Each structure stands twice: as structure tokens, then as C-alpha cells.
Amino acid sequence: MSFLIKRPAARREILRGLLGGAAVALPLPYLEIFLNTHGTALASGAPLPVRFGTWFWSMGHTPGYAVDPNTDQLTFLKECEALTPYKSRINYFGYFNSPLDGHPNHVHQSGWITVRTGTAPPKPADILAPTLDVLVSDHIGGSTRFRSLDMGCTGNPKDSLTARSTHVRNPSEVSPIALYARVFGPGFADPNSAEFKPDPDLMLQKSVLSGVEEQRKRFEKVLGAADKARMDEFATSVRELEHQLALQSEKPAPADACRIAAKPDDMPMGTELPVAQANHEALTKILTLAVACNQTRVFNMSFNDTLSSIRKPGTAYTHHTLTHEEPVDKNLGYQPEAFWFNCRSMDALAAFIKAFESVREGAGTLLDNTLIFAHAETSFAKIHQIDNIPMFTIGTAGGKLKTGRHIAGHGDPVTRVGLTALQAMGLPLEKWGQGSLQTAKPIGEILV
Amino acid sequence: MIRKLASLALLSLTLAGCGPTEPQTTGGPAVTRRLTESQYRSVIADVFGPQIVVAGRFDPLLRTDGLLTIGAGSATVGAAAFERFHALARSIAAQVTDTTNRDVLVGCGPQDLRTADDSCATEFYSRIGRLLFRRPLTTDEVRDQVKLAREATAVRGDFYTGLAYGLQTLLEAPDFLFVVERANGKQLDDYAKATRLSLLLWNTSPDDVLLQAAEGGKLKTEDGLKQEVDRMIASPRFKDGVRAFFTDMLSLDDTTNLQKDTTLFPAFTLTAANDGKEQTLRTLVDLLVTRNVDYRDIFTTRETHISNALGLIYRVGVNDPSGWSRFDFPSDDPRAGIQSQVGFVALHSHPGKSSPTLRGKAIRELLLCQRVPDPPGNVNFDKFNDPDSPLRTARERLAAHANDPACAGCHKLTDPIGLALENFDGLGQIRDNENGAALDLSGDLDGVKYANGAELAKALHDNPAAASCVVNRAFTYAAGRQTVSDEKAFVVYLEKTFADSGYKFPSLIRRIALSDAFYAVSGQGAGQSPAAAKAGTTEDKS
């Protein structure tokens, strides 16, 4: 997995170069020489990078209106119509359960936590194990500037479903302009640029981090045992930033699909649906190019918050309150407004897929080299049901997954899907999850 | 020990005349807590001045046992958070050493700007580091920063640019980002005492005077401690401490993400949201600090301050359209107490409508410290959703919903309280009907009946849980952790003396700050004080 990364230059080497006033100019990269003749791998024979991301929507589906349960063939119904053009790139997983081992169903929390961590939270905020994106990031995220990019579309950084533990959460980037600045602002080096001139500040920043680490070691000596574990996390964070700086000190490897994103306009943030949709579109655009430019290999996108606060402008009810308070239309057989919002979530997922599909990479698209794991936090929000939470995988993870399947879980734990995704991303895991959620059975019929 | 006991007895008499004496406690664990955003900003402003811009987002803390401060005691710094602290430190260090600020903030410089000046760097890091780390730096710590400044000056060719790197290191160090509490035996050491005091009273790091008191052993003595506590309470900065406490206790930080539908509520703006929070804080500070009235009056007061943005919501004129004006609601106005202000009723509502349940839950949990269980997972909304229902008001809808035994238990705790505030819509504007139906604001709070929000205010004022709540929150906020069983008697003592004082909030805080219990530590988590730190000697040879 080191196709992009050369050995980071030692600090002293770079410093010597800087002291000598040397700027490094490297030969012009010819993109085609970095791919094999079929465009399916790098010329070195190493495969194209595989990326992993999650996509979250809340409030689940309207039972009976999302996916036809009567056939193994993936057939989208009215609520998921927007996904039909991408049917061949998708797997749908239904009838997998979230056993809580006696813990209460913390509404709109327990469901997503079981799906993402393989654990049942005793309290609503408990994260007893890292979310699966963090596990993937630990495995493959070290080769890029950002181990992960995490985004939310409803304006609140707290709306995030990625965490290492209860107290180590990865807040969402909610502003497209801030995400742009973080990825394509200072510190970004165009991988396809002919010239590379390392910033003389970089090595001094590494010296700052060395000093911080030295200070951490001193600090830790006066701590009690319980706090030392917290400092281990701090140390990891310092190392990650050091690694980021080390990558910035080097000429980045060319990236066939990389195009520099345009700077987005300053946009309003909030829970009105058109605002959330506009932010989703803008964040997705920056994300796909960040991925294509090898700035990250792991990402998390939350279309709405777990208590779906999205709403139509000028109305008193949010999506969430509608799922509880809107009457069922006797003729239609469902809650029409809540259904409408569910459809908009699927529209957004379709747009997300399209964005990855539209970036050409090698002989295919970015989606070919990506695995997107999309899911909700309930199956039927009206009654907070967490069995049969809808889940999708999208993309083949670089050919590791078959697609176009409708997989019925028959009550198996939801963790079977997570374990499958983790194994597809190359994690050497035989089992995953805790208690009744633990499983050693990936979904063999879709693994290649 | 005899001297300590004698001091304790004298202190008790001084504090409460012939009142109860402080029960002995063995204390709880020392806590290592991450600076909160407001503490971080305060420290930077205090050390370097308000002209230094702290531009950046902070990672949210997890509210734990009712307070972010307690969550800070379990918080660490994840990768994304550290990336942000790194960027902040870099920006602050650059500002401090730029041509605008260096003369005042650095205060020394080399003969030749292109060369290093170890003497100046040593003076700068020692002085600033002591304020940032809340203790003197060790010789190793100073030496490391001076060395980095020297190397960086050689690379960048500018002394002040080089100096910034060492300062950046200090600003990213765990010693700055985390407040660590070292102990000497069963009491916090003097620097940890000073830090607890300063965070409680001023919401910032100890100033030079307080650090000097710590260095001179003054905080070990009754008189020395009293002198510092009284100095700090008498200072205008005490208001900052009170504001920080109530921001945390009332979850006013959530205002940052407050959203309202501007089609339904055209008067809502981000300014109005922020002003709603500010109004509540101004009301509290005015009542509790400036006028030092009975704490419980916060539930009944009609005296407040409003801005132009709030005047639009309250539909009243303001004296100063560009700032804040004192405003008293008439005695027959339905608005009484902070729980009727925009900063409360708008915050605990949906974006497009009011919520008796959210408001009732907030009053139970935030103002009375009573836990409302989470909703069950198997809620049945069928009655609530009856399309043929004639129900027009929230009271009618919630009554139907609460008929379900699974829901009734919690809704009985929350809804009667929240329904008394239903004459305030989702933004806090007055209304006299909902969907054309008259509003019934009556209910009861723990057996006390009321007819409307103003009477609910009186019921809150007289509810023993209200005073008990602020006492418990104040002590856990001060200690940065939940109370331990050994401290129960001390908390009862605080409740008693709070009542004896006429429920005067500064008196409560002063009593905590002067108490033995506040500085007692036991169990896990307490690191030992490095005596070497005070002497400025080397504690780490690695």
C-alpha cells in the first residue's frame, strides 16, 4: 500500500536543503506513464488506490416503498427511484437486525451505533469501539494528507457519526468554503504540477511538533494512570500531523484523476432542505476532487442529522417530527410528507453516487475504486424500529465486491455487512462486533 | 495538622458566624481537563491582549452529567482537533510576534534582527510560558524553546519569526491545552489551587498576582487564600466567571446552532439568537452579581436588558437601537423569569414551532437538576396521528399521546411545565391562541398548582430543587467532576449555608472557593507536584 509514498525525507536532509536555499524542481510528470496500458493499475503494477466512505441519512425508509422484498433481483420502488440508474453499482441489505443485549433502544442513536461500531451503547452517547471508517482509516489512511474527511450538510459540526471512542469524535466540516480551504488551500500541492517547491516552513513545523511531543512526555509523568490513555490519543494526533507534514514535504505522486476544485461561494448553512441539498452538492464536489487528488482515502458524509431536522421552508414540522406526528394517508397507506423527505434523501444519495461516477480515473471512474457504505439509523422512524435498518454498499472497492444484489439477512446481525466492507477494504479481520452483534460471517456471495 | 484544624475552625467562623462548620471531606480525584473554548479564548486575550484574533473552530466537548466542564475532564485531542489547535497556535504566534505587536508583547529584541538572541528568547518564553502553563517553566522547557527559536531564526533569517515557533510549541503543548491538577498529599498543590480558583472565578488562567501568591505559599494560609478570593470576586472579571458558569449550566452554548424558520419567524436572525443568550447572561449577572439578590429571583424577575433584535421579538421599543437597554416588563406581563426569555423558550423549541416537552425537559434537567428519562424505543403515535382528530393545541395532542402508559411517565414530568409557556411561540413571541383555540396554561409543579407562566415562575422560585440544583452544579463545575459519596455532607452544608445567606450566589461561590473540600484530592488521577517546577530546575533529563 505504498504506491504513493516514498520514504519521508529525514528532517535534517530537508533542513539542509532549505538552509542551502534549494527549491526542488522535478521533471514534468507524464500522466500516462503512471498507468498501465489498460488504465487499470499504475505502471508499477500496483493497483489504483481504493477509497472508503460512508454516507448517512436518517429516518430510514417507508416500509414497502423502498426495495422490492420479494425478489433477489435488486428492484427499487418509489421511494428509491432515484437510485435506479445506478442499480448495477449498488447492493442493498435488508432484514439484518441490531440486537442490543438488554440495553435500551436509545432512539435515533442505538441503530447507527450498532451498524458502525458493532456494539450496543449502554447510554446514548456511548461509543464502545471505533466506528468502521476509523478502522479503515487506521489501515489505509496513512498515505494521504488527511486520514479522513468528515462532512455534514445541516450546519452543525456535532452532527457526526465517526468516532474513535465516546470522547474522541470527529466533528463534521459543515462549510464548503472551509472544506475547500482545508484541502485546496495552503499546504496543497498539485500532484500533477511540473514543479514542486517545498515550503521552508514545513520542517520548522515538524520541529514544533517534535517539541510538542517532548513536552507531552514530560506532561505524562505527572498524570495518574487513567489520564495517560488520553495522552496516548494526543500523541497519536501529533504523529498524524507529523505524517501529514512529511507528505507535504515531498513531491506528491501524480494523480490521473486530479483536478483542482473551484473555490465555492460562501453559502448559507442550516436545516432547510434546499440549503442542506446545496451544501451536500458543494461538499460532494470538493470531496470527489479531494479523493481524486489523493488528499484522503476515507470520508464520511451525513446528509442529515440523526434526528433529521431538515424541513421545508415555511413549515413548522421537521422531517423527524413528521415521521411521528403526520397522519398516515388512508388512501396512500403511508405518511406522505415523511415519505417525500425520504425520497429527497435518496435523491441526495443518487447525486453522491453520480458525483463519484463522473470523475474519470484510469479506464473507469472514481466509483470503481471506491466503496461507499450508506445506511440509516432506523428502519421505520415512526416507531423507532432498528431491526431491518436499510444499508447499501456502492462501488466495487477496486473489484473486491460484486454489485447489483439484494441481500436478505434473515435476522442476522447488521455487523455482517460491516465486516464484509472491512474485509473488502483489506482489513485482516476474522470477526467484528461485540456480544450478540459479533459476527465472523461476511456476506460471501458478494465478496470476490 | 493542629494549625490546619485551627485555621479551618477560624475560617468557618469567619464565613458563617455561628453557622454550621464545614464537614471534613477526603475529596475526589484530581482531574485533567481540556480547556474549553471560552477558557482558551479568555487566556489568549488575557496573556496577549484582545487584539489577537483567535480565528478558528473548536471541537465540541461532550456534555457529561449536565456540564461541558465535566466532559472536559474526559476529553482528549483527536487528530482533527489537534490539526485545529495547531493552526490556531500558528496564527496566534504569528500575530504576537508581528510588527504590530512585538514591541509590547515580546518586549525585547536582538541588535540584529537577522540573528538569534537567546537572552531575549529566554526572558520571553519564561514570562509567557508561566502564564500559559499556569506554573513556571522548567529550565529544560525554556531551553528547548530557545533552541528552536535559534534554529528557526537561522532558517528564516528573522529573530521574531524564529521566536514564533517556540511560542507555537507552548500553545500546542498539553500543558497549555489541558489543566492538570498536581497534588501535595491530600491537597492540590499551590499552582493547581490557583488554577481552580481562576477557572471558577474568572474563567481563565491565573494572573500574575495569583501566580505570585501560589509561588509565595500564600494560598496555603487562610488569610492569603481569603485575600486572593476576595480580590477576584471584587474584580469585574468575576462577572466573566459567572457568565461562564451559567452558560454551561443552562446549555447556552447550544445557541450557536439555533435555527428557526424565517418564513414562520421573520424576526429571527443570528443576531437575535446571540442576543437571546446575551440577554439571559446580562439578566443573571445584573441580578446575582451587581445587585446580589436572592438567586431564586431569576425565575420571577421582570427586570432585564434588551437589544434592538430582541425588541422586535418582544414587540417593545428599545431606548438604544444600537446597543443594550435596561427594560422592565410590566408587573402584569406574562413574561417572568429567565425561563420566559428568548434565550430559553426559543432554544428549547423546534425550528418551526414551540415544544412543551422540550421546554419542560429543559426546566427539569437544567434548572432543577432532575433527570428525565429518554423516550422509549417503542413509542406508539397512532392516537397522536389520528387524521380525523379535532386536536388543535399542543395540550390536546400531548394529552392524547400521554394516555399511552409507556409515554405517560416522562410526559407527566415535562409537559405540565412546558405547557405553562405555550403562550410563547417557537421563537418566544407572545401569542394568545394556537390554531384559533384558546390556550390553557395551567398545571402543577411537584404538587404546586399554577394558572399560567407567571405562577409557574413563583412555583419554581419556591421549589427546593431550584436552589439545591445551583449548589450542586456550582460545586461540580468548580471541581470539574461529579461529587463523590464522601462529599455529600459537604454539599448539604453548602445548601444550608446558601439558604442562610439569603440565596446569594457570590456567597455560595466564595464559600466553595474558601472551603477545604474544594482543594481536597484523593484516589486515582492525582499526579504529584514536581517541586522542581517551582524552583525552575530540571525535572526531565530525557
Q: Among residues of chain B, what percentage have pLDDT more than 70?
A: 89
- Quote the pLDDT of residue B375: 76
Tell which wins on pLDDT, B262 or A212. Answer: A212
On whether any CB of chain B is under 8 Å from the CB of A103, the answer is no
Hey, is the C-beta of A416 within 8 angstroms of any chain B C-beta? no
Contacts of A273 in chain B (CB under 8 A): none
> Rounded mean pLDDT of A62-87?
94
**A239 CB-contact burial (10 Å; exposed 0-12 / middle 13-18 / buried 19+):** middle
Which of B32, B145, B539 is opposite residue A227, by nearest beta carbon? B32
Q: What is the pTM of this model?
A: 0.85
User: Is the pLDDT confidence value at A171 over 60?
Assistant: yes
Exposed, middle or buried: residue B224 (CB in 10 Å: 0-12, 13-18, 19+)?
Answer: middle
The answer, for A318 touching chain B at a CB cutoff of 8 Å, is yes
Q: Give percent of chain A above pLDDT 70.
A: 90
Residue type, B217: G
One-letter amino acid at A88 equals S
Contact between residue A239 and residue A277 where contact means Cβ atoms under 8 Å apart: no
First to last CA, chain B: 38
Q: Parallel, antiparallel, or unpaired for β A163-165 and B443-445?
A: unpaired
Contact: A270, B379; criterion CB under 8 Å: no
Integer Cα distance of B518 and B526 in angstroms: 14
Do B173 and A215 lie within an 8 Å CB cutoff? Answer: yes
The angle at the Cα of A346, spanning A343 to A350, to the nearest 5 degrees, equals 140
Asked if A224 lies within 8 A of B525 by C-beta distance, the reply is: yes
Range of weakest confidence among B3-12, B109-118, B378-387: B3-12
* pLDDT tens-place string over residues A373-418: 999 999 999 888 899 999 999 999 999 999 999 999 999 999 999 9
Residue A38 reports pLDDT greater than 80: no
A270 vs B contacts (CB less than 8 Å): 259
Contacts of B528 in chain A (CB under 8 A): 222
Inform me whether the C-beta atom of residue A21 falls under 8 Å from chain B C-beta atoms. Answer: no
Q: What is d(CA B218, CA B231) in angstroms, rounded to the nearest whole number?
A: 14
Whether the per-residue pLDDT at A177 is higher than 60: the answer is: yes
How far is Cα B344 from Cα B459, in angstroms, rounded to an integer?
18
Three-state SS at A72: coil
Q: B385: which 3 cell numbers?
A: 396521528
Residue B411: predicted pLDDT: 80
- As given in the structure block, the three cell numbers for residue B70 are 465535566
Query: What confidence score (pLDDT) does residue A36 get?
Result: 55
Q: Bigger pLDDT: A404 or B438?
A: A404
Mean residue pLDDT of chain A comes to 88
The DSSP H or E segment spanning B213 is helix B208-215
Contact yes or no for A237 and B82 at CB 8 A: yes
In this structure, the number of other CB atoms found within 10 A of the CB of residue A181 comes to 16
- Which chain A residues have a beta carbon less than 8 Å from that of B378? 105, 383-384
Q: Which of A396, A392, A419, A418 is nearest to A406 (CA)?
A: A392
| In contact, B467 and B298? CB cutoff 8 Å | no
Q: Domain spans of chain B?
A: 35-179, 268-275+304-461
Beta bridge partners of residue B305, listed in sequence order: B326
Domains annotated on chain A, with CATH: 47-198+257-437 (3.40.720)
Of A284, A254, A271, A275, nearest in space to A180 by CA: A284
Q: What is the pLDDT of residue A363?
A: 87
- Is the separation of the CB atoms in B74 and B178 below 8 Å? no
Calpha distance B526→B30 (Å, rounded): 5
Residue in B with minimal Cα distance to A158: B60
Residue B193 has a pLDDT of 97
A281 alpha carbon, distance to own chain's centre: 15
Distance CA(A179)–CA(A289), nearest Å, equals: 12
CA-based nearest distance B506→chain A, Å: 33
pLDDT for B411-437, tens place per residue? 888 888 999 999 999 999 999 888 788
Q: What is the pLDDT of residues B48-90, one digit of tens each?
A: 999 999 988 888 899 999 999 999 999 999 888 999 999 999 9
Which residue type sits at A323?
T
Q: What single string gives the DSSP state of each residue in B474-493?
A: HHHHHHTSPPPGGGHHHHHH
State the pLDDT at residue B523.
66
Residue B2 pLDDT class (50, 70, 90 cuts): very low
Q: For residue A445, is pLDDT > 50?
A: yes
Task: Give Cα separations from A368 to A282, A402, B19, B295, B532 (angstroms).
Answer: 22, 11, 76, 64, 60
How close B170 gets to chain A, by Cα (Å)?
7
Q: How far apart are CA A358 and CA A369, in angstroms?
A: 13
Tell me what pLDDT residue B410 has. 77
